[in-house]
Structures are given as structure tokens and as C-alpha cells.
Structure 1
Amino acid sequence: MAQRAFWKGYMKLSLVTCPVAMTPATSESEKVRFHTLNEKTGNRVVSHYVDAVTSKPVNEDDEVKGYPKGEEDYVFLEDEELEAVGLESTRTIDIEMFVSSDSIGWIWLDKPHYLVPDDSVGEEAFSVIRDAMAAAGMVGISRLVLYRRERAVMLEPRDKGIVLWTLRYGDEVRDAGDYFAEIDARKLDPDLVTLVGRLIDSRTQPWDPDMVRDPVQEKLLDIIASKKKGRRRPAKEKTDAAPSSSNVVSILDALKRSIKAEGRAKN
């Protein structure tokens, strides 16, 4: 069942405007969440800010944002100053530019949202913009205030709608070269690559959402259900020991044994 839109506004391209509605494409509402309680009373525990030096509670009106400029030395910023530098929270996705759909790497994509027309009158304008982007192999770039922060967003045509991705900020993305540069780039034995290819082929299957199910969540729900019924919690399952890295094994031999094991498992 489709969820209610959490944001409504307009999508604009030059003089073309249409009303749109947006809903997050992912949800964590089904995740098991816990409250912290006082075990003696069963009451919920609440958090309060306290002064790190005096240990006295801090009144909410006395809280202020501070940027460290030295040890125990801060520049204070008032709420009005922080709000002044942000984009005005307009309800318009003004598409400022287009870029090739394959030019934005996956690492820049943050959170996906479904964007749909919000009335039948604006549906034609929405569809024309969507189809024109798809035909040109382009995605739109805009800026928007979401989740109380100004964000760059990417609009990607998808099926009959548009997926709006919030994009990560430039200082959030680390350069892969800093981490991969030390990996040896020597030429590999083609026989080894062929054997791994056979392993990949033997394990290839159609995508299924069950591949990314959460077994921890399922076990937590079992424990909660047992406790509701007054039963003892299930015994902890034994897990296989981690393979030791101290044993030096020939990669070729290991691959051959793996392929044999895969064949036996299928028979």
C-alpha cells in the first residue's frame, strides 16, 4: 500500500511548472526499536544536557551552537545566523541543470524518494519532462530544503515516475584512490580468473529481496514473541568459527576444491 506523501510542492523547468508529491522510497518503520527503561521502576528514561564542567542541567534557552577554534575555545553561532545562510524553504524543485545519467557515481547517491504528479492537470507536464530526460540520457540537478538541511538533489526518470535522490556533500565522499592505491596491480593468472568465473556462474541466480533479509531482526522478533507468551528465550545458535588466516593454502587448489564442492551440492 502506497504511503502518504511527506512533501508536496512544484517541479519547475524554465516556465513549465507542475505540482508534485514526494515520498521516501525506503523505510525503517518495521525495524525493531527499543526504549531505555529504569529496570527498578519500569519507567522510561529521558535525556538531559548537563554542563561538562559543573554537571548542572542546562536550560534549553541557554543552549547555543559552537564551532571549536581551539582547546575549550568556541565561536558561538545564533540560530538566526544559521538560518540566514540556508536556502529559503520554498516548495519548488527548480531544475537548474542536466548532466549525463552515467556521470554521477553511485557513491554520491544518498537517499531515494519517489516523485509523482500531484494532480491530473499537471501530469502531462510531469510526463513530458520525465520522458525528455530519459530520451536524452540525462538527469536533472536542483537544490531543495529536506530534513531541515539544504541539499543538492538529482532527478532520475524511472518507469512512469521520477526518483529524486538527495546527493552527498562534497566533503562527505572520500577518494577511493587513497585506499586502493596500495593494492598490487600485477597481471593475474588467467586460469585462476577462469576458475573464479566458474564459481560465479555456479552461484548466479535471479535477484530476490529475501537475499537481503535481516536475520537479526527475525531473531529479535522471536525473542519478543516468546517473552510475551512467558516462554524462555531461544538458546543462542552456534556459529562456525572464522577461518584461520595462518594456514597458507594454494589458491589454485582451494579453487579446484571449491568447484568440486559446488558440483556435489547441486547433485
Structure 2
Amino acid sequence: MPRAIWKGWLAVGQVSCAVALHAAASTSDRVSFHTVNRQTGNRVRREFVDAASGKPVPREDQVKGYEVAPNEFVQLDPEEITAAVPESDKCLRIDCFVPCREVDGAYFDKPYYLTPAGEAAEEAFGLIRDGLKAKKAAALARTVLFRRLRTVLVRPHGAGLIANTLNFDYEVRSSEEAFADMPRLSVKGEMLELAKHIIATKAGRFDPAAYDDRYDAALADLVKAKLEGRKPRRKAAPKKAGQPEDLMAALRDSVAASERPRRRKTG
């Protein structure tokens, strides 16, 4: 298990245990680039300059600024910002329990694995984990993580727990606004039955390993080709999707296409 990025306590009423937080997802293995000078091959250094004078600004003269009017800022020193951040007591204090499916996925931010921090915490940790499993529930907790007060959803996950930080309500855009211009349609009859049939014939299970990062793989192949002095492989252009002129005919063709593999198997 990678090194913990946070250690603290998980508390339910008077029951508490020491826990460690580990990143559940990482982008460190993605292909990444530096900006370099085409002429010299040297890396380019980023520099902050004054927007009006164009002169470089030394690090000691750089402060955060909140814009209150066009080109008018309230300046905030690092010490002032630090003093305004809530103090952390290193405790994930559970407020309440909710059904696992009750929290809308739009509120999910980042996932982390929660493990007991030491043998002394294992019994209480297992009690909380198994209690959540038995009730098919998730716990809503709050704590200061990475200098921000965060709401965290804690759920059973294999032998441990998974903790998702949640977006605040003001950060999640309204779905009603997004769908406001959509017409109210009710699909019935043969068209709906054909759609249900297509969904049934293409039923499967989610396997994360089956969905590769083609963009990252293509970049890795490009870099390798440049190092070897060869031309990178050309990828076949994907078939462009378009609006069918006859939706019913397109549904029937899709049903026929989904039936062919089944006929070959039974044949």
C-alpha cells in the first residue's frame, strides 16, 4: 500500500479508530510533457510579469488578490489566508448514515481508500465497516482535508472503506437548467420495445481493464516512434456518427445486427 497522504480518526459517537487515507486514483502514469525551446532543446521557465508594465515580478512581491471590480483587487497575504482556514482536529466525525444509492453521482469529487492505522484500530474499524455492510449504508462525515472543510461519503469497499470527497451544493450545476430546453417526449409501442431489446442483447458487466486510455497509448507510441526515427502508425479514422433519417429503421437494423452473433453461436 502506498504511503498515507493523511492520518486521523474516524468517529461514530463514542466509537473511534485511527485511520489512514490513501489516494484511490492517480494521473501520475499518464504521458506528460514539458515545454522546451525548439531551437536549443532546453526547458522553458515560466515567469510572472506585471500585466501593465510587462516587467517580471519577484516571488516575494507576489500575493493573492480577489477581484472586486475590473482591475481592482483586495490583496491577501499568505498568513491571512492561513488564519482564515478552519483548524483541523484530524477527525472524520460521522454526522449521519444514508442509503448507499441516495447520494447523486454528480456530487462525487475524489476517491480515497481508508484503512486502519495500526493494529489497535483494526477491531473498531472492522466494526464500522461490517455495520455499514449489514445495513447497506454509507456514512456522511466532515473534516478539514488539505486546508479545506470537506464533506466525505464513507462506504464499505472490499476489506476496507472508500471515502469520496463531495462537491458542495453550490458547486454542482442544476440539472433542471441543463435540461430546461428539452421537449417532453414519451416513447411507446414498437420503438420502445426495440430499444429495450437492444439493451437486453448488449447487457454486460463493468470491467475497468477493458477500457484502455487510447489517447495516452497513442502519445506513448508517438514518443517511441520519434526516438526510433520512424513514422508513427496511422490510426484508422473512426466511423462518424450521424442523425438517422429514419429512427425506426435504424432501430430495426440495430436489432438485426445484435442478433447475428447469437445466431452464429447457436448454429
One fold, TM greater than 0.5?
Answer: yes
CA drift of 1:90 comes to 3.3
Q: What do residues 86-114 of structure 1 show as CA deviations (whole Å, max 9, x unaligned)?
A: 22133222223333433321111111111
- Checking the alignment, whether the CA contact within 8 Å between 1:10 and 1:93 is kept in structure 2 is yes
Q: Counterpart of 1:44 in 2: which secondary structure?
A: coil
Q: 1:255 aligns to what?
A: 251
Q: 1:111 aligns to what?
A: 110
CA drift of 1:184 comes to 2.3
Q: 2:206 aligns to what?
A: 207
- Checking the alignment, whether the CA contact within 8 Å between 2:85 and 2:147 is kept in structure 1 is no
Q: Mind listing any 5+ residue stretches in structure 2 that lack a counterpart?
A: none
Q: 1:235 aligns to what?
A: 234
Q: 1:19 aligns to what?
A: 18
Structure-2 separation of matches of 1:203 and 1:224: 37
CA drift of 1:242 comes to 4.4
Q: 1:181 aligns to what?
A: 180
Q: Does 1:77 align with 2:76?
A: yes
The alignment's TM-score, normalised by the length of structure 1, stands at: 0.89
Q: What do residues 152-175 of structure 1 show as CA deviations (whole Å, max 9, x unaligned)?
A: 212112232111111102221011
Structure-1 separation of matches of 2:215 and 2:72: 44
RMSD: 2.1
Change (3 A) 1:238 1:71: same
- Checking the alignment, whether the CA contact within 8 Å between 1:87 and 1:144 is kept in structure 2 is no
Structure-1 separation of matches of 2:232 and 2:101: 50
- Of residues 192-201 and 255-264 in structure 1, the stretch that sits farther from structure 2 once superposed is 255-264
Q: Counterpart of 1:122 in 2: which secondary structure?
A: helix
Q: How many residues align?
A: 263
The alignment's TM-score, normalised by the length of structure 2, stands at: 0.89
Q: Counterpart of 1:139 in 2: which secondary structure?
A: strand
* Correspondences of 1:52-91 after superposition (within 5 Å): 52-91=51-90
Q: Counterpart of 1:157 in 2: which secondary structure?
A: strand
CA drift of 1:204 comes to 2.0
Q: What do residues 172-199 of structure 1 show as CA deviations (whole Å, max 9, x unaligned)?
A: 1011011223322232222111101111
Q: Counterpart of 1:152 in 2: which secondary structure?
A: strand
Q: 1:219 aligns to what?
A: 218
Structure-1 separation of matches of 2:215 and 2:37: 25
Q: Identical aligned pairs, as a percentage? A: 34
Q: Counterpart of 1:162 in 2: which secondary structure?
A: strand
CA drift of 1:19 comes to 1.5
Q: 1:161 aligns to what?
A: 160
The one of 254, 260, 264 equivalent to 1:264 is 260
CA drift of 1:236 comes to 4.8
Corresponding letter in the other structure for 2:257: A
Change (3 A) 1:42 1:89: farther
Corresponding letter in the other structure for 2:102: S
- Checking the alignment, whether the CA contact within 8 Å between 1:22 and 1:114 is kept in structure 2 is yes
Q: 2:91 aligns to what?
A: 92
Q: What do residues 184-243 of structure 1 show as CA deviations (whole Å, max 9, x unaligned)?
A: 223222211110111112222232224421111111111222222222222353333443
- Of residues 173-182 and 208-217 in structure 1, the stretch that sits farther from structure 2 once superposed is 208-217
Structure-1 separation of matches of 2:77 and 2:95: 31
Corresponding letter in the other structure for 1:9: G
Corresponding letter in the other structure for 1:261: A
Change (3 A) 1:236 1:138: closer
Q: Counterpart of 2:111 in 1: which secondary structure?
A: strand
CA drift of 1:32 comes to 0.5
